[in-house]
Amino acid sequence: MRIGIGFDIHRLVAGRPFIIAGVKIPFDRGPLGHSDGDVLCHAMADAMLGAMALGDIGLHFPDTDPRWKGIPGLQILKTVRQKVEKGGWKVKQIDAILLCEKPSLSPFREEIQKNICRALKIARSQTGIKFKTAEGLAEIGKSRAISSFAVVNLEPK
Ligand code: MG
């Protein structure tokens, strides 16, 4: 088996949509980024690339390339899942933490979970997603950033 770890953080700014795993969440700010700033998908994709020893999403989807401008996080996740499959592996289990003070993400849990499962072609029982606040501390706690950590376990296809 193979194990990978992923991390992502994005600044929250006015005038950007707030999207997590393809789910648009009503809020007055959104993640700043060349892509849609979907930290959950980005951390998961990085974990999968790490498990494959294939570098990181910055290498595969450079922000200097206009092709990737505004690319949805779910699209990155699907593309990385295809790379995993091409290498002869599949996701056995993924687990993630999403650090977000506001907005509250729990009303969107089912939809977020469903989209991740569909993108990775795995069951809910293989998908861990935890929502945490930062208890008001630092940039994340002031709702000026959101962040995500992910760990993935791959098994041979
Ligand atoms: Mg990112």
Task: Report the separation in Å between the CA atom of 125 and the middle of ligand 1, taken as the mean of its atom positions.
Answer: 26
C-alpha neighbours within 13 Å on the C-beta side of residue 150:
30
pTM: 0.97
Q: Which domains does the chain have, with CATH numbers?
A: 2-156 (3.30.1330.50)
C-alpha 33/C-alpha 84 separation (Å) is 25
Residue 86 is predicted with a pLDDT of 97
**Tens digit of pLDDT for each residue in 113-155?**
999 999 999 999 999 999 999 999 999 999 999 999 999 999 9
Measure 36 CA to ligand 1 centroid, in angstroms: 8
In angstroms, the first-to-last Cα distance of the chain is 10
The angle that helices 39-51 and 73-86 make with each other, rounded to 10 degrees, is: 10
Could you tell me the distance, in angstroms and rounded to a whole number, from the CA of residue 110 to the centre of ligand 1? Answer: 22
